[in-house]
Structure 1
């Protein structure tokens, strides 16, 4: 039995949480608990004094309050008022804070204190900022990026500030403020519309053509993820050979480049507290690239079931996305299997890192989830590339 079928389950070590949405993979993985607006793992407020000192400094490796005060002043962000920070998320790769100044507030996003790669983490911050800035006027709901800081002397890493979006994550069950379970279809349609709008973005006109390598993108996927998996896996993973052989043999021969989010699921969305609800912002752009937008659609629909009465039929979902994007998807079964296999590879890496970390207990749930995802990818492969 797929453990995700029993309900929304929180998994992780001391610094992260993986959430699995039941029934479908349209809300596969998140580092945030369900049903809250960017809830805090640890909420602590930090107040900067006029001389730049602080009355408490719980985040010495993440925030330098005096330097940040000067940077906020220079960026004309609430000049002169006390600056307070509230930590609202922490994880393997990034940290998120709400910055309060007077009656204004923003979100500050920066790498974790000890990233896997310092240079890589800093580049990701710049990429996230550029991708979100490029979305202005595109119809893709997002938090407006306000300012980027590449001077690592300010906080020790590249960071950026974006507008604060006051919304809710559509967890399981859907919060009553969004309409409760009856709003599931509405939420799915809002996501399909946003994903279609993203696929319609012209990456060259938007000035982000350099943020990806669309040439040969699909050709690289199977070898890249299989190679990454083999670089760290320490156990037998039944079905991997069959899945990768099928993916390699059935890869689509052509692709139309475009912008892809890379982790488009409902736990990376904020919705308005109103009925009918609406999508306010797509979050977490760290995996965004210029590649093949069908990877996002396959990821979203990889566990979409026509037997679920709360969701549009898969054919209806594809038609809605196609109308919004202006694209005609083909071989969606391949993209669904590829995205499922990719997720399995990523989570196996999480499991291995936990296993090698003496401060953590490796999650047996993640270990089993990887096996379930590979099995699901195999079932998708058996169903064929063409849906």
Structure 2
């Protein structure tokens, strides 16, 4: 059975690590045996780079910023990601345990951290081997997915200390301002649609919000299910954009990744289009039912997600455009910023987040 979280032997060109320096450093930090270090790369993900390290029979996972990250303002702060996981892990065991942070650029040329390896099944761009994704199974996976998101949103950010990782007051305004500034740094063409959407968002910020943990990238390919027929969730991955703020932004971010049948698909998603999977309306209704809440202003939150997604895909494409990476997946994102801006404008015009 393929677990889909397997690292591959070939590291993408231009994304190699200084193996000798890293081996010497980690052997000192972990008092590891003198066995040769082997490095593999996890092929998934579009931003921070993730590697599997093998010291004899010990496995570690290394996370580092992408090459060219210094060109992107306020992005890829590895120390912050490590600190967030360090605060979260004691109260939520579905995150890999962070083990060591290194800010010495002499080792591999950039700050990085290492953590434990979790094993399980991740739904990326094709079905897992040996498990039939029947409509009933997809429904179960969606229920587990929403249950786990609610669990995250109900963590006490004050008791856990995670409140120090965000500034809830003025959160939504900062999201608009920050996304606008980041887009200005990487925009390569006409920005009129971006400006139109931003103007609407500024004029419609909700006056109230629900404060909690925000993963900011909660989607199927960051969720690891158990290997026993995917009957539970064992890990949530990729916390680089996590913060503390309005949890409905987090829900909307998930809705923004949730591709429905017949729609755009920038990231080659398959699971949300499987028979039995929720559509966006059903996902929202499931969340509301389980939390016994009715979320008002959902068009605002969804339009803000479209705005942020436009900026994110443009940041990814910009790295390819500038020659910082040879990853052809990022080259394929050319023009997707405009698609997300248009989707956001459509949302504010119709008030709908789903085609169903």
Q: Calculate the TM-score normalised by the size of structure 1.
A: 0.73
Are the equivalent residues in 1 in contact too, given 2:120–2:226 (CA < 8 A)? yes
User: How do 1:88-167 residues align onto structure 2 when only pairs under 5 Å count?
Assistant: 88-89=42-43, 93-116=47-70, 124-139=77-92, 141-167=94-120
Between the aligned partners of 2:181 and 2:85, the Cα distance in structure 1 is: 30
- What do you get for the CA RMSD once the two structures are aligned? 3.8
Are residue 211 (structure 1) and residue 165 (structure 2) matched?
A: yes
Give the secondary structure class of the aligned counterpart of 1:193. Answer: helix
Query: Residue 285 of structure 1 corresponds to which residue in structure 2?
Result: 239
Does the residue aligned with 2:52 lie in a helix, a strand or coil?
Answer: strand
- In the alignment, is residue 42 of structure 1 matched against residue 6 of structure 2? no
Deviation at 1:358, TM superposition (A): 9.4
Q: Equivalent residue for 2:18?
A: 63
Q: Aligned residue pairs: how many?
A: 339
Pair 262,363 (structure 1): closer, same or farther in 2 beyond 3 Å? closer
CA distance in 1, matches of 2:93, 2:295: 20
Give me the whole-angstrom Cα distance separating, in 2, the residues matched to 1:64 and 1:214: 41
Residues 1:75 and 2:43 aligned together = no
Structure 2, unaligned runs of 5 or more: 263-272
TM-score normalized with structure 2 length: 0.79
Partners of 1:95 and 1:313 in 2: how far apart?
A: 30
Range moving further from structure 2, 207-216 or 79-88: 79-88
Aligned partner of residue 367 in structure 1, secondary structure = coil
**Residue matched to 1:185:** 139
Change (3 A) 1:37 1:69: same
Aligned CA distance change for structure 1 residues 96 and 227 (closer, same or farther; 3 Å):
closer
On the 8 A contact 2:79/2:101 being kept in 1, the answer is yes
Q: Secondary structure at the match of 1:146?
A: strand
CA contact (8 A) 1:148 1:161 kept: yes
SS in structure 2 at match of 1:318: helix
Report what 1:347 is aligned to. 313
Q: Which residue is 1:30 aligned to?
A: none
Q: Which has the higher helix share?
A: 2
The answer to which of 246-255 and 303-312 deviates more is 303-312
Task: Report the equivalent of 1:312.
Answer: 278
* 1:95-147 deviation digits (Å, cap 9, x = unpaired): 322122232212122234543269967x7222222222222354462212223
CA contact (8 A) 1:143 1:281 kept: yes
Summarize the alignment of residues 254-293 of structure 1 with structure 2, pairs less than 5 Å apart: 254-293=208-247
Deviation at 1:193, TM superposition (A): 1.8
Instruction: Select 2:123's aligned residue among 146, 170, 175.
Output: 170
Once the two structures are superposed, residues 143-170 of structure 1 have per-residue CA deviations (whole angstroms, 9 ceiling, x without a partner) of: 1222333444444433222111122321
Give CA-to-partner distance per residue, 1:41-82, whole Å, 9 cap, x none.
7259xxxxxxxxxxxxx9997335356445444435x44544
Q: 1:200–1:324: 8 Å Cα contact kept in structure 2?
A: no
Q: Distance in 1 between the 2:188 and 2:261 partners?
A: 36
Deviates most, 221-230 or 207-216: 221-230
Matches of 1:91 and 1:152, distance apart in 2: 23
SS state at 1:42 partner: coil
Paired residues of 1:90 and 1:112 also in contact (CA < 8 A): no
Task: Give deviations 1:245-282, integer Å, cap 9, x for gaps.
Answer: 32222221112322211211212222222324322211
Distance 1:300 1:353 in 2: 24
2:337 to 336, 355, 370: 370
Gaps of 5+ in 1: 1-33, 45-57
Task: Tell me how far apart the structure 2 counterparts of residues 245 and 283 of structure 1 sit (CA, whole Å).
Answer: 33
CA distance in 2 between counterparts of 1:99 and 1:368 reads 36
Q: Is 2:254 aligned against 1:295?
A: no
Do the aligned partners of residues 70 and 357 (structure 1) sit closer, same or farther apart at CA in structure 2, a change above 3 Å counting? closer
8 Å contact kept, 1:301–1:336: yes
CA drift at 1:297: 0.5
Aligned equivalents of 2:224, 2:33: Cα separation in 1 = 28
